[in-house]
Amino acid sequence: MKQNGTSLNSRRANGHGFDDTPTATLDLSNEITLDGIGSLTIDEIGDEHISTSYDTPLRDDAFYLSDEQKMQKIEHHFREIMLTLGLDLADDSLRGTPKRVAKMYVQEIFSGLNPANMPKVALFDNRYRYNEMLVEKNITFYSNCEHHFVPIIGKAHVAYIANGKVIGLSKINRIVQYFAKRPQVQERLTVQIGNALKELLGTDDVAVVIDAVHMCVTSRGIQDQSSSTVTSYYGGAFKSDNKRKEFQQYLTT
Ligand SMILES: [Zn+2]
């Protein structure tokens, strides 16, 4: 992965202990400036998967339409795409596809665009005064690349050190799934999960590592079948080498 014109920190994942396939690693914990991105053209961005913002770029009128209205519109337009490609929508197998795609977009794979679908999270008092690191690893997620609308499949590993509150483990999983269900770039997904947990848990001591495969890289374009991309987000105590290493240790065992 190349970062044309951005100041994202890039380093190889050697010594991370993941696997030995070629890997690009981005450390997103440092201050990031996105200067210069605004001047890139669509062709310059091309397949480089540069995100321009850590908020999902949404229009002001994003939720004026109901889900039902969105599905009708998408069904119509997807039918046009299929017709343009020359497909015969009178065929029994294809006839229902526009409706299926519309429903899948709105109700499933892009449902995380709507803040109304943010999981309700109950916090518990940290009764056991457990103030060590808590790690939830290997959270499988399916997302979609916002540049190609094809799948990103990966594992998220999340850690935090409880302040006064703890969160149910299944809720960490749900938060990952919520942000994955958007057109995404991996860097943004990583930061959005980290920031949401920081806010919910009332602590900066949050870490997120994501290791993912991008179908737009493995199945098309350069067709690199063995590469994965690792992104990380380290807040608070995880900025120290000790805590960071401890967390990375958990990921390799
Ligand atoms: Zn892509």
Separation of 49 CA from ligand 1 center, angstroms?
6
- Residue of 49, 75, 148, 184 with catalytic role: 148
Taking the C-alpha atoms of residue 226 and residue 222, their distance in angstroms, rounded to an integer, is: 11
DSSP state, residue 46: T
DSSP state, residue 38: G
- pLDDT tens-digit profile, the chain (253 residues): 333 333 333 333 333 333 344 455 555 554 343 444 445 566 666 666 666 678 999 999 999 999 999 999 999 999 999 999 999 999 999 999 999 999 999 999 999 999 999 999 888 888 777 778 999 999 999 999 999 999 999 999 999 998 888 898 899 999 999 999 999 999 999 999 999 999 999 999 999 999 999 998 888 877 777 889 999 999 999 999 999 999 999 998 7
Taking the C-alpha atoms of residue 219 and residue 214, their distance in angstroms, rounded to an integer, is: 8
- Residue of 75, 157, 214, 248 with catalytic role: 214
Calculate the alpha carbon distances from 232 to 128, 236, 239 in Å: 29, 14, 11
Taking ligand 1, which is a single-atom ion, which protein residues have CB atoms under 5 Å away?
A: 145, 147-148, 216
132 is catalytic: no
Who contacts 197 (Cβ-Cβ below 8 Å, separation ≥6)?
158, 160, 167, 172, 175, 206, 208
- Residue of 177, 184, 186, 192 with catalytic role: 186
Question: In Å, how far from its chain's centre is CA 209?
Answer: 11
Beta bridge partners of 234: 207
Could you give all domains of the chain from N- to C-terminal order, each with its CATH number?
A: 9-49+121-252 (3.30.1130.10), 67-113 (1.10.286.10)
Separation of 118 CA from ligand 1 center, angstroms?
25
